Amino acid sequence: MNRKTLVAALVGALAAGGMVGGTTVAFAQADVIKQRQENRKATAGEMRAIKAVIDSKGDAKTVVASAAKLKQLENAFDKLFPAGSDKGETKALPTVWSDSAGFQAASKAADAAYDKLAVAAGSGDLAAVTAAFGDTGKACGACHEKFRAKAN
């Protein structure tokens, strides 16, 4: 194989590899978008469960488990935004990638709110849980404000 043929063969192999790679990436992106949306659905589910405890003046201590679950979900969430996953059926705004430090900070702020919620729940004081729940909701909203497209 002379040099020219070798280069042509290499370019051909790269192009073919790129195409296959592109398809794989597209599938992986749809997957990761779904995963982060499922993550947020579970997050909203925990928030509803906590609200139910508050509304029914239930046992504040049961919120400890929900706060732990919220933390676990948040820790997974910010890793579900690989480059390229801004395309597709997603409400994530381009700012997630253009201001990734701000996005990480918003996630950290939510994480801190869950910690406070856990402490409040651990104290068994429903009034403290109610206050911490309100602050947690604000942390959700603060991130959505900058990083999530409004629902239609």
Binding mask 28-67 for ligand HEC (x = CB under 6 A): -----x--xx--xx-xx--x--------------------
Pick one of 67, 92, 117, 132: the residue that binds ligand HEC (CB under 6 A).
Answer: 92
Nearer to ligand HEC, 96 or 126 (CB): 96
State both tokens at 7: 């280069």
The closest of 119, 44, 115 to 77, measured between CA atoms, is: 44
**Is the Cβ of residue 41 or residue 79 nearer to ligand HEC in the bound state?**
41
Reported for 129-134, long-range contacts at CB under 8 A and 24+ positions apart, including other chains, are 129/50, 129/53, 129/54, 129/60, 129/63, 130/54, 133/47, 133/50, 133/51, 133/54
Residues 95-134 as x/- pattern, contact with ligand HEC by CB under 6 A: -x------x--xx--x------------------------
Report, in Å, the least distance between residue 128 CB and ligand HEC: 18
Q: Is 69 in the site for ligand HEC (CB under 6 A)?
A: no
Pick between residue 44 and residue 127 the one whose CB is nearest to ligand HEC. 44
CA distances from 11 to 4, 5, 18, 20, 44 (A): 11, 10, 10, 14, 48
Burial of 151 (0-12, 13-18, 19+ CB in 10 A): exposed
**Site residues (CB under 6 A) for ligand HEC?**
33, 36-37, 40-41, 43-44, 47, 90-92, 96, 103, 106-107, 110, 136, 139-140, 143-144, 147-148
